[in-house]
């Protein structure tokens, strides 16, 4: 008995031709992709804004910390400034903190001024002393008698006080005739060499 012929079944491995994408389908896919990109961009912008807000808060906290720390150092130095200057032969008797004003259109401020009848010592206080601080302070000292004419007949000395320094900055200060005061723990001391002679402004 002969076998009847049957149509061959399609092979499971044989790929059927894909239906071509219509313009409408392509356009929908494009819109979906664009929406995803927009969502991703929005999330990036939100994240970036949060980073900026966090950075702003950190900067504010840092400024507050530096300000409070600076105030603490000023109080520490002021508490010892009379005795340590007296030990160096500068017989000051009184101190003034945060002397500020405006003269000839210029705003000025000095952290501490130690005074007696014939001499004043102007002290610049920094938590970390850097070379640019020395340069700025030396420039301010040039105008001290102009800004504060009541001291025009006094001998003016300069001093820098700090907790830490960029390498070599204290030596730079001494070379320019400034008293160098280091604050450590709960006290402050002058660390200039024994042969140091302060400059008079």
pLDDT for 159-192, tens place per residue?
999 999 999 999 999 999 999 999 887 789 999 9
| Most distant CA pair in the chain, distance | 140
Judge residue 173's burial from the number of C-beta atoms within 10 Å of its C-beta, 0-12 exposed, 13-18 middle, 19 or more buried.
buried
Q: What are phi and psi of 11, to 5 degrees?
A: -70, 135
- Give per-residue pLDDT as tens, 16-61: 556 666 777 777 787 888 888 888 888 878 777 777 776 666 566 5
Number of separate helices (H) and strands (E) present in the chain: 4, 6
**Domain ranges in the chain?**
64-190
Per residue in 71-86, pLDDT (tens digit) is 777 888 888 999 999 9
Domain 64-190: which topology? Trna Endonuclease; Chain: A, domain 1 (3.40.1350)
Question: 3-state DSSP call for residue 180?
Answer: strand
On average, the pLDDT of the chain sits at 84
For residue 14, what pLDDT is reported?
A: 55
Q: What is the mean pLDDT of residues 95-99?
A: 93
pLDDT at 102 over 60: yes
């Amino acid at each position: 008995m002969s076998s009847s012929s049957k149509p061959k079944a399609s092979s499971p491995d044989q790929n059927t031709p894909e239906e071509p994408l219509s313009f409408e389908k392509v356009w929908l896919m494009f819109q979906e992709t664009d929406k995803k990109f927009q969502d991703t961009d929005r999330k990036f912008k939100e994240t970036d804004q949060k980073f900026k807000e966090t950075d702003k808060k950190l900067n504010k906290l840092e400024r507050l910390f530096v300000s409070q720390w600076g105030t603490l150092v000023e109080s520490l130095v002021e508490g010892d400034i009379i005795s340590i200057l007296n030990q160096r032969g500068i017989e000051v008797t009184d101190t003034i903190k945060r002397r500020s004003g405006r003269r000839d259109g210029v705003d000025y401020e000095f952290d501490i001024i130690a005074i007696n009848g014939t001499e004043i010592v102007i002290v610049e206080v920094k938590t970390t002393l850097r070379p640019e601080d020395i340069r700025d302070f030396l420039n301010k000292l040039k105008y001290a008698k102009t800004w504060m004419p009541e001291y025009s007949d006094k001998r003016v000395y300069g001093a820098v006080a700090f907790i830490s320094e960029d390498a070599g900055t204290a030596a730079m200060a001494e070379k320019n005739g400034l008293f160098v005061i280091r604050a450590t723990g709960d006290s402050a001391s002058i660390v200039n060499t024994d042969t140091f002679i302060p400059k008079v402004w």
